[in-house]
Amino acid sequence: MKRLIIVVCALFAISLGAAAQSPSKPLDSAQGKRFGIGTPATPEQIAALDIDVRPDGSGLPAGSGTARDGAGVYAQKCAACHGANGEGGPADVLVGAEPKNSAPFGPEYERWRGTRPDVPFTIGNYWPYATTLFDYLRRAMPATAPGSLTADETYALVAWLLSKNEIIAESDTMNRETLPRVRMPARSRFVPDNRRGGAEVK
């Protein structure tokens, strides 16, 4: 019985070795078989999804809008969740410029806050780039119909939100040239993490 077990184990080991040495065939190759599902994405389908906007403004589309244009868009498509003036509701607070000289957290903030109520993170005190605000709104809002905003509507909404947060004037026009030039109050509060393998934290 013991000899039989040894023989079986030896045969099993030999078969494993042979399998490991045999070249594997990719599923999608001349020798293999395709799954037979799906179709290659067309250039038009890829372009419809390739809408990301970078912090430097790369990817911003043509179009424009002002805060005055955005007021109606906001009232129709955003206020039900975020409040009539961005003060929050079922969804997050969007408007709030305080604190102006520190992040809304940490020791400096606590000294500023004193006995004041805690403030929420908002576009005015925490968002580092106006361009990525455009990216997020166009891609994900409104929650009931994400991706449905036109470029003009998105520029107008961004302008309205920036104006409400005291970052631009109500009459300022936002477009692919002007939006990247907007300096957000929180920009300097975001820095590259250049720590290298030790306890040093900046």
pLDDT tens-digit series, residues 2-26: 565 665 555 565 665 555 555 555 5
**Which DSSP string corresponds to 88-99?**
-SSS--------
- C-beta pairs of 185-192 under 8 Å, 24+ apart in sequence: 185/97, 185/100, 185/124, 185/125, 186/103, 186/125, 186/126, 186/127, 186/128, 187/128, 187/129, 189/103, 189/126, 189/128, 190/128
Position 144 in a domain: yes
Instruction: Go through 181-198 and write b for each residue having 16 or more CB atoms within 10 A of its CB, e for each that does not.
Output: ebebbbeeeeeeeeeeee
pLDDT at residue 29 greater than cutoff 60 = no
Q: Is residue 64 part of a domain?
A: yes
Number of independent structural domains in the chain: 1
Tens-place pLDDT, residues 135-169: 999 999 999 999 999 999 999 999 999 999 999 99
pLDDT tens column, 89-147: 999 999 998 888 888 888 888 988 899 899 999 999 999 999 999 999 999 999 999 99
Question: Is position 65 within any domain?
Answer: yes
Let me know if residue 108 belongs to a domain: yes
The sign of the dihedral angle between the CA atoms of 117, 119, 120, 122 is positive
Has residue 166 been placed in a domain?
A: yes
Please report whether residue 61 resides in a domain. yes
**pTM, two decimal places:** 0.74
What CATH number has the domain bearing residue 87?
A: 1.10.760.10
- What range defines the domain where residue 165 resides? 52-189
Domain-located, residue 19: no
